[in-house]
Amino acid sequence: MYYNNNTLIYLDGKFVKANEASTDLYSQTLHYGYGVFEGIRAYASDNGTRVFKVKEHYDRLKNSAELIKIPFDYDVQELVDATYELLEKNNFTDAYVRPLVFCDPNMSLSRPNKVSIMICAWEWGAYLGDKQLRLTLSSYCRPHPRSIKIEAKVCGHYVNSILATNEAKDKGFDEALLLDSDGYLAEGPGANLFFEKDGVLYTPQLGNILPGITRATVLELAEEMGVEVKQGLYKPKILALADSAFYCGTAAEVIGIESVDERKFPKEWSDSLGNKLQEAYSQLVRASEKTLSTTY
Ligand code: PMP
């Protein structure tokens, strides 16, 4: 359950009870998936709650809306402030934050004149497990960038992700790995892919994937650690020769990949670059230097 009788959400400038808020069943977003959203995480730090890369997430929300021509008249800083206020009002420290921009009633395929924004959050404790994923190559490919705006986080795009995840789970795997429409490695249904070979990290280049904020953070951390990272177009047979691999995303953070279609990566996770990055990421998101009262 995501909320109880006391939970507040932010809806169009006001804080309202989640169980009293309502929306219109004729919303264009509900019918056609024409809406944009974000997935953000807040962490308890020594200096209080810190929402990790919150500005980057709201900038991406704005960019997603603009890319698909949904009107976005919100001020990013106001949304950032509203997010902190929402967490405070609900007494959340470690939490997942979900902003959604959704459209007014409109059964036509033309653009909406008016949209709404809601921000909800739910408690999400620290993930302490060292689980590694068993992946399978999906029969679904990521949408072609000429059929949608792949860089936008659009509601409707997630039908592709849901199909891929369910197919993988039905086959007994933890998660899917999707290729792009040309057969190059793309990403997971909700995470970006990295793999390691001979001390170098590789990740699919931008163009056919969601530009993950965690991916960008991993690139920064790798640079700080002096690890070389190459971005390019890679076929699955290259991944089959890799030493180790991991997924990264706001929800998953950095998570090791044990195998793809039962073929295990030879390197122990504890010896992998992914494991070092996982630790560095975990420290960074909980670091206290950026806090509620200073910068975010
Ligand atoms: N790819 C897809 C398809 C996603 O849905 C996500 C989650 N937003 C990611 C990658 C990772 O993005 P981020 O690190 O910004 O959460």
Residue nearest to atom 2 of ligand 1 (CA): 190
User: 70-97 pLDDT, tens per residue?
Assistant: 999 999 999 999 999 999 999 999 999 9
Any residues with CB less than 8 A from the CB of 125 and at least 6 apart, and which?
Answer: 94
Write out the CATH class of domain 8-122: alpha beta
Residue nearest to atom 12 of ligand 1 (CA): 212
In 3D space, the residue among 186, 190, 185, 281 whose CA is nearest the CA of residue 238 turns out to be: 185
Any residues with CB less than 8 A from the CB of 39 and at least 6 apart, and which?
Answer: 57, 96, 97, 98, 153, 190, 249, 250, 251
State how beta strands 244-249 and 253-260 pair.
antiparallel
Longest dimension (CA), the chain: 55
**Are 150 and 209 within 8 A, CB to CB?**
yes
pLDDT computed for residue 22 by the predictor: 95
Confidence band for 280, pLDDT divided at 50, 70 and 90: very high
Q: Catalytic annotation on 153? A: yes
Residue ranges around ligand 1 (CB below 6 Å): 39, 161, 187, 190-192, 210, 212-215, 249-250
Q: Which atom of ligand 1 is nearest to the CA of 38?
A: 8
How many A from CA of 119 to the centre of ligand 1?
18
Confidence band for 168, pLDDT divided at 50, 70 and 90: very high
| Whole-prediction pTM | 0.95
CATH for 133-285 is: 3.20.10.10
To 10 degrees, the CA torsion angle through 40, 44, 47, 49?
Answer: 40
Give the SS3 label for residue 177. Answer: strand
Find the mean pLDDT for residues 103-129.
Answer: 90
Quickly tell me which residue has 């490919």 as its tokens: 141
Same fold, 8-122 and 133-285: no
**Tokens read off for 247:** 């997924």
Confidence band for 290, pLDDT divided at 50, 70 and 90: very low
**Are 235 and 186 within 8 A, CB to CB?**
no
Residue 134, beta-bridge partner list:
259
Percent of the chain, pLDDT > 70?
A: 96
Among 214, 254, 285, say which to mutate for ligand 1: greatest number of ligand atoms within 8 Å of CB. Answer: 214
In the chain, what are the domain boundaries?
8-122, 133-285
User: 134-162 pLDDT, tens per residue?
Assistant: 999 999 999 999 999 999 999 999 999 99
